[in-house]
Amino acid sequence: MRIGVIADLHIDRRQTRYTIQDFEHVLTWEIHKQQIELLLIAGDIASDYRITLEFVYTLMDKTGIDIRFVPGNHDYWQPEAGHISTPEIHQLYKEEPTSMIDAPLIIDDQWAIVGNSGWYDYSYADPRFSREKIATGKFSGGTWQDKIRANWSMDDPAVSKAFAQSAKQDLERVGNRNIILMTHVVTHPRFVVPTPHRLFDFFNAFIGTSDFDPLYKEFPIRYSIMGHVHFRHQITDGGIHYICPCLGYQREWRTDDLATEVADALTVIEV
């Protein structure tokens, strides 16, 4: 099976030259070109759960293939207009068939896919920042937008531990199969923004988590798909192939062409 993986589409990002329909068209073309049979999206499709879900179903209709995703932090943002909490959005994703929250996918007797958003636990921040300072999300005149647009009613490290525990339960459900693990947040320290950096010495706190470390040792995870950091990078460490296939914001692209960037970000795993 040819499995395509991509992350951080941000189809509703403001001040972009491309429409949501452009993203649909380009992804459909590339999926058919690369003969992809299953598409995995590692979060941050949009900044409104309604746009996220509509996009996934439209893309499935256009491509004729199965698509599964994990919500990213943006996908959990509370809409500016509307009365719905972050936990309520999370519950919607748990009930949504295309979401992998609490829903591992068995490919065959040999392979399974486990998806989990994950959350950040502050462990990747520079140690000179206190836990109290990091928790404010404020640094150098900027504010981490999850502090404004998402509210779990518990602190970030507690959310991270809850997600990791949920992932462990899903990993236990798939038996002894080889596993493709898909998260949104980074789960390996080599994928944070390189430091020293004038901003990400601090904001790396919100990039990844160490709570998944024990899971890589306990379960037969062969591939680890991540997003969030807007890198495109791959490494193999301890027999696990880590892939970060982020499209990212247009200002971060190497070119101005959506088709070129999608083709570069979209990565294929064959199982």
In the chain, the number of structural domains is: 1
Mean pLDDT over residues 233-258, rounded?
96
User: Are the CB atoms for 188 and 226 separated by under 8 Å?
Assistant: yes
What's the pLDDT tens digit per position in 141-187?
999 999 999 999 999 999 999 999 999 999 999 999 999 999 999 99
What are residue 225's phi and psi, to 5 degrees?
Answer: -100, 130
Q: Can you give the pLDDT at residue 15? A: 60
What's the pLDDT tens digit per position in 62-115?
999 999 999 999 999 998 877 899 999 999 999 999 999 999 999 999 999 999
- Binned at pLDDT 50, 70 and 90, residue 17 comes out as confident
pLDDT at 14 over 90: no
User: What average pLDDT is seen over the chain?
Assistant: 96
pLDDT at 44 over 70: yes
Percent of the chain scored above 90 by pLDDT? Answer: 96
Q: Can you give the pLDDT at residue 82? A: 73
CATH number at residue 74: 3.60.21.10
For the chain, give the number of residues: 271
Percent of the chain scored above 70 by pLDDT? Answer: 99
A 10 A CB-CB count for 172 gives 12
Q: Can you give the pLDDT at residue 269? A: 98
Prediction pTM value: 0.97
Angle among Cα 148, 149, 152 to the nearest 5 degrees reads 95
Q: Can you give the pLDDT at residue 220? A: 98
Range of the domain at 186: 2-270
Mean pLDDT over residues 227-255, rounded?
96
